[in-house]
Amino acid sequence: MPPLTLCWLRRDLRLSDSTALQEASQGPFVVGFIFDRCILDELEDLDDRRVTFIHRSLEEIRRGIESRGGQLWVGYGDPVEVIPRWAQQGGLTRVVAAHDDDPYALRRDAQVQARLKDAGVEWRSVKDHVLLERQEVLTQSGTPHKVFTPYQKAWLGRLTAADLAERTVHWPHLQAARSPDAPDRSLDSMGFRPGALWLEPGESGGQRRLADFLARVPKYHEARDLPALEATSGLSVHLRFGTLSIRQCVRALGIATPDQVQDLEPGPRKWLSELVWREFYHNILANFPHVVDGAFRREFDALEWPGLPEHFEAWKAGQTGYPIVDAAMRCLNQTGWMHNRLRMVAASFLTKDLLVSYRLGEAYFARQLLDFDLAQNNGGWQWTASTGTDAQPTYRIFNPILQSLKFDSEGAFIRRFCPELAELDPEAIHTPWQAPPMTLLAAGVRLGENYPYPIVDHAVQRAKALALLGSVSAQT
């Protein structure tokens, strides 16, 4: 049988700087993607934005493959069944894919690999999604890092120019072999409707967003915490789906070799540090997979969160009476995105003010976020809930009023998502329940009618949270 490799795209939906494509294109190859029913059938929203993002990004890939004389193979089903069938019907001798360390994906890939082995087809997987993965960054005693700052130091020390180098694809090896399945898959045929996207999908969308952000990166360190500004990159979605390469992001900062990191200006340096947070949580998931079903700090598994279901509902709907929390949640519900500062504020409010389990919040974010990534979402939630990797010795509790005053001082972000508060001045908008009646009247705010009273008192709840979390520590 003449050799033919399938490059199976998953979290790397692009045609440039791709390790899997580089590896597959060493000889004759085709490119394929499977709409995985094991994932799709679990989605609750027919207009799920992630499916739309993937679908539209694939359209661009299809055009790119066809312009090079090939055909994109597209499947719909369980990859454990589809890939071996493709191997048989399409005459594949090898399948190449990029690592995916989500526990579901690891199980799936192990099954695919076993089935391919039985059929005499080679399986190869390669690192692509992060710069340093799995056991590449370890402590001096050879164990995985659990704390960010030493991880970052070790990460910087371990990085090499080869990790950053562009992966080139040998397109002349692309074959015109036809897809064993119908090459087109409409959203409709899979039971989905187009969801609204707030950003341009596809590799071209990622490239444009990166170029646009590079003009703003010098001010990143000063403005990144202000949700009313477009000061961050908004690239998390592209990094999640691999429509942009992590190597390209780092090279775009002018870093081709690790020694150049020390010369970075504060803005790019801070941004690089955020990319390392992404690598850190990837490392946590890969090395401590128990975080998927339980607390990173296992002693917190026994904790019973006493929060009320109606408080959880109010949080989800953006009806807590704390304007910054409500604006954040409504932004999430309307757009599928939330600013990092607000993710921390909203997650802290749910766990430390409402005393609702982080697992409920994590699941709600997982359903809503366009950039949902198990490693990052779980890491962010557990860090904020104090069940995770936070190195702070006392429990971190965000004060929603102070956060609002500090990071949305004029109330511009609140006004955008809580229009019923839009006429309040900056003194009143963060705490409408403390505003004089005349101020509320003049602004058309009727507490308890068109905007809720606070559902809890932060000072009271803070004390309860400290006692609750402290009870776990006291037992261990």
Ligand X SMILES: Cc1cc2nc3c(=O)[nH]c(=O)nc-3n(C[C@H](O)[C@H](O)[C@H](O)COP(=O)(O)OP(=O)(O)OC[C@H]3O[C@@H](n4cnc5c(N)ncnc54)[C@H](O)[C@@H]3O)c2cc1C
Spatial separation of the C-alpha atoms in residues 232 and 340, rounded to whole Å? 9
Taking CB under 6 A as the binding criterion, the range among 133-141, 146-154, 373-381, 433-441 that sits at the site for ligand X is: 373-381
CB-nearer residue toward ligand X: 44 or 118: 44
Spatial separation of the C-alpha atoms in residues 43 and 65, rounded to whole Å? 29
Judge contact between 9 and 32, C-beta under 8 A: yes
Of 94, 99, 240, 247, the residue at the interface with ligand X (CB under 6 A) is 240
Q: Which helix (H) or strand (E) holds 6?
A: strand 5-9
Of 340, 399, 431, 439, the residue at the interface with ligand X (CB under 6 A) is 340
Please report how close the Cβ of residue 42 comes to ligand X at its closest, in angstroms: 16
CB-nearer residue toward ligand X: 66 or 230: 230
Residue 386 as a binder of ligand X (CB under 6 A): the answer is: no
Please report how close the Cβ of residue 174 comes to ligand X at its closest, in angstroms: 30
CB-nearer residue toward ligand X: 123 or 271: 271
Q: Tokens representing 14?
A: 């692009």
Of 11, 224, 316, 458, the residue at the interface with ligand X (CB under 6 A) is 224
Judge contact between 90 and 177, C-beta under 8 A: yes
Residue 232 as a binder of ligand X (CB under 6 A): the answer is: yes
Rg for the chain (alpha carbons), in Å?
Answer: 24
* CA 63 to chain CA centroid, nearest Å: 27
Which residue, 286, 314, 291, 307, is CA-closest to 387? Answer: 291
Spatial separation of the C-alpha atoms in residues 227 and 408, rounded to whole Å? 7
Please report how close the Cβ of residue 338 comes to ligand X at its closest, in angstroms: 7
Q: Counting every residue, how long is the chain?
A: 476
Residue 234 as a binder of ligand X (CB under 6 A): the answer is: yes
Which residue, 307, 285, 345, 327, is CA-closest to 130? Answer: 285
Of 65, 96, 275, 456, the residue at the interface with ligand X (CB under 6 A) is 275
Which residue, 128, 78, 118, is CA-closest to 98? Answer: 128
Q: Which residues pair with 451 in a beta bridge?
A: 447
Taking CB under 6 A as the binding criterion, the range among 75-83, 184-192, 268-276, 298-306 that sits at the site for ligand X is: 268-276
Residue 236 as a binder of ligand X (CB under 6 A): the answer is: yes
Of 381, 398, 413, 417, the residue at the interface with ligand X (CB under 6 A) is 381
Residue 201, Cβ density class (10 Å: 0-12 exposed, 13-18 middle, ≥19 buried): buried
Of 84, 227, 268, 380, the residue at the interface with ligand X (CB under 6 A) is 380
Residue 371 as a binder of ligand X (CB under 6 A): the answer is: yes
- Residues in contact with ligand X, counted by CB under 6 A, come to a total of 29
Of 25, 57, 233, 387, the residue at the interface with ligand X (CB under 6 A) is 233
Of 4, 235, 314, 418, the residue at the interface with ligand X (CB under 6 A) is 235
Residue 129 as a binder of ligand X (CB under 6 A): the answer is: no
Spatial separation of the C-alpha atoms in residues 429 and 427, rounded to whole Å? 6
Please report how close the Cβ of residue 275 comes to ligand X at its closest, in angstroms: 5
Please report how close the Cβ of residue 59 comes to ligand X at its closest, in angstroms: 23
- Name residues contacting ligand X, limited to 341-360 (CB under 6 A): 343-344, 347
Using DSSP bridges, classify how beta strands 5-9 and 94-98 pair: parallel, antiparallel or unpaired: parallel
Residue 291, Cβ density class (10 Å: 0-12 exposed, 13-18 middle, ≥19 buried): buried
Which residue, 321, 314, 279, is CA-closest to 128? Answer: 279
Binding mask 84-123 for ligand X (x = CB under 6 A): ----------------------------------------
Spatial separation of the C-alpha atoms in residues 314 and 343, rounded to whole Å? 16
Q: Residue with the closest Cβ to ligand X?
A: 380
Site for ligand X, rule CB under 6 A: 224, 232-236, 239-240, 271, 274-275, 277-278, 281, 339-340, 343-344, 347, 365, 369, 371-373, 376-377, 380-381, 384
